[in-house]
Amino acid sequence: MQSDEVPRFSYFSSLSQKVVSSSSWEEIFSGQFTEHLQESKKTEGNVWWLDICDATEEDVNIVSQALSIHPLTEEDIITREPREKVEVFRNYYLISFQTLVTSVDNNGEKGGSNSPASIFSSTPASAGCYILVFKNGAVTFSPTGCGHISRVRDRIRRLPDPAILSSDWICYAMIDDIIDSFQPYMQAVERESEAIEDEVFIARVDDVRSLLPRVDNLRKKITHLIRCLSGKVDVLNGFIKRCQAKDKQPVFPDGDLIMYLGDVQDHLVTTMSSLSHFDEIVGRSQSNCLAQLSANNLRLSLNINEVLSKVTVLATIFVPLHMVLSPFQAILDYEIANKIPQGWVNFSISRTSPNGSWHRLERGEVQIDAAFFQGFNQDLNNADLWRKFHQKQQTPGALPALPQVDAEFLFWEMMRISRTPDPYMAPALRKLKASGKFILGALSNTVVFPDGHPYNVDESGVKGHFDFFISSAHTGLRKPDPKIYQFAIREMNRLAGEKGLGEVGASDVVFFDDIGENLKGAKKAGMRTVKVHLGRTQDAVKELERLTGLELLEGSDRARL
């Protein structure tokens, strides 16, 4: 019965021109195999080939007894001797080569993919391939994942003259295919080295930093390939010399096979030379990367004072990183107090963008009145959004009941807490203002309170710490609309000119915010961005210290970091 296991044994005979494959020895060591072995001793031109994939110690012992293999050869194969060499014995010669093995492809075979993406996904592993050449036959011990056996069989089927086939030719074809298997890797190395060389001369500073890991990774792969091929050069040179010697062993090939081996030798030398050339290119690119980084660092060091006098901080009072506490803290407190899943309120507000009641209020399109609170209440009590929220959170069990949010109460809590000065940022901004070195601006998604409302009075004096204050409700633009960032940059540049600081571009602006989409909009506009996390404004102040060179935290505040 044929086993369902993957065939590890295959036997080919030139008499039948068929390959017998099996997962066990029973079908291989059949009467047909024994008959072929006996016939090969009598019939000139009858060639057989036995391949064993991932041979076990038992497999090697069986073959050794059947074919009188020397104990030293048996030991090399069992222990997977990694040294590449040629050894000659009474009735056969052995060639030991290391070959490349790759991972399983989609068809279940290994070593099937030679695309650049698969080649550079990881450094290929090495494994021993052992070729035993007898007078009329050959035995190969191959590793899974090399693909040499199937490719050499294809070459045999395509031979124009069957008389060319011999055990020595099978050995030559195996060696040639092992060397050829390095070609896709060499081509990938060539493409990658040329790409890196081109990118080095056009890369920006950030790109250069990302290039260095690519260069390092490529050099490791080139070194691995050179190490795998260098031993083969010595083995092949020695093999050809021994074949050409006057007192050569009878088991060694002669005639056209030596010419074929010479062609493989030339191919191997060319491959080694190309890899060495690519290594020089990558090494030169690495030196250029490091030199460019060094020059940029020196330039930055020389211009540090000019940069610090020009850098501007674009701020906002409606997020926790500035002079007042965040209204999001009021949302969090409300959710905890009312046992509402954290993040639900922010989720419902963000998902109604851009035409939700909250967004329209911040653009100044609606007033704070009963109609607004009715719409805001509908946004926060939307059953469809509640279902999507739980799908996103992947909450186990049935969908809970929609929580009832008092939109009007929550709104005024947010307004109340956002008027409380932040204990870290407020003193820091006062120091920045007092230094006179920076332009401080506020870019805020705000609302317009009704006439006569007490919140119209800036009791904390927040606005007085900024050189300009851009309100979304007054401009009709709210973050992250690209137009509001451009408006802020123009205002920065105008004030910089008045202060004699020279022209200010987007890259001179540092934008602090705690909302990801606002930061993305600022970064797209060309600004530098800093993310500030809820409850960690002292970290934002620490970043301000790094950017400005000023000490902005004091005493116990500094110790808390």
- State residue 76's pLDDT score: 93
Q: Are residues 407 and 444 in the same domain?
A: no
pTM of the prediction?
A: 0.49
Q: Beta strand pairing status for 48-53 and 137-142?
A: parallel
Q: pLDDT per residue over 334-376, tens digit each?
A: 888 888 888 888 888 888 888 888 889 888 888 988 898 899 8
DSSP structure string for 490-535:
HHHHHHHHHTT-----GGGEEEEES-HHHHHHHHHTT-EEEE--TT
Span 226-258, pLDDT tens digits: 888 888 888 888 888 888 777 777 777 777 778
- Read off the pLDDT band of 514 (50, 70, 90): confident
What's 357's domain CATH number?
1.10.150
What gap in Å lies between CA 141 and CA 120, rounded to an integer? Answer: 27
Asked if residue 427 and residue 410 are part of one domain, the reply reads: no
Highest mean pLDDT pick, 27-36, 164-173, 310-319: 164-173
d(CA 517, CA 529): 12
**DSSP H or E segment with residue 190:** helix 183-200
**Mean pLDDT across the chain, nearest whole number?**
79
pLDDT value, residue 204: 65
Whether residue 559 has pLDDT greater than 50: no
* Shared-domain flag, residues 152 and 31: yes
Quick check: is 174 in a domain? yes
Tally of structural domains, the chain = 3
Please tell me whether residues 458 and 529 are part of one structural domain. Answer: yes
pLDDT level of residue 324 (50, 70, 90 thresholds): low
User: For 84-110, how does the pLDDT look when each residue is reduced to its tens digit (9 = 90+)?
Assistant: 999 999 889 999 999 988 754 444 344
Q: Strands, DSSP E only, in 195-325?
A: 312-315
pLDDT at 139: 94
Q: pLDDT (tens digit, 9 = 90+) per residue, 167-179?
A: 889 999 999 999 9
Q: What is the pLDDT of residue 70?
A: 93
Long-range pairs for 328-332: beta carbons < 8 A, 24 or more residues apart: 328/514, 328/534, 329/417, 329/534, 329/535, 330/410, 330/413, 330/414, 330/416, 330/417, 330/418, 331/410, 331/414, 332/534
Please name which of 444, 339, 453 lies closest in space to residue 400, comparing C-alpha atoms.
339
Instruction: Say if 31 falls within a structural domain.
Output: yes
Residue 456 has pLDDT above 90, yes or no: no
| CA atoms of 429 and 315, how far apart (whole Å) | 10
pLDDT tens sequence across 279-314: 888 888 777 777 776 666 666 555 555 544 444 544
On whether both 497 and 409 belong to a single domain, the answer is: no
pLDDT for res 561: 36
The per-residue pLDDT for 423 is: 78
Among 6-10, 154-158, 254-258, the minimum mean pLDDT is found in: 254-258
Among the residue ranges 193-197, 405-409, 462-466, the one predicted with the least confidence is: 462-466
- Residue 190: inside a domain: no
41/157 same-domain check: yes
Give the whole-number percent of the chain exceeding pLDDT 90.
Answer: 11
Torsion of the alpha carbons at 284, 287, 292 and 293, rounded to the nearest 10 = 150
409 shares a domain with 437: no
Query: Do 106 and 28 share a structural domain?
Result: yes
Residues spanned by the domain of 554: 307-321+421-560
Q: In which order are the strands placed within the sheet that holds 312-315?
A: 468-471, 440-444, 312-315, 509-513, 528-531
**Domain limit, last residue, from 416, 448, 476:** 416
What is the average per-residue pLDDT within 518-529? 88
Please give the average per-residue pLDDT across 380-392, as a whole number.
86
Closest CA to 226 of 196, 281, 283, 269: 269
What pLDDT, on a 0 to 100 scale, did the predictor assign at position 79?
Answer: 92
Q: What is the pLDDT of residues 61-82, one digit of tens each?
A: 988 988 889 999 999 999 999 9
Whole-angstrom Cα distance, residue 250 to residue 559? 85
pLDDT for the residue 518: 86
Q: What is the spatial order of strands in the sheet that 48-53 belongs to? A: 18-22, 9-13, 48-53, 137-142, 125-133, 93-101, 85-88
CATH assignment at residue 95: 3.30.460.20
Same domain, 483 and 339: no
In a domain, 211, yes or no: no
> Which of 135, 154, 181 represents a domain boundary (last residue)?
181
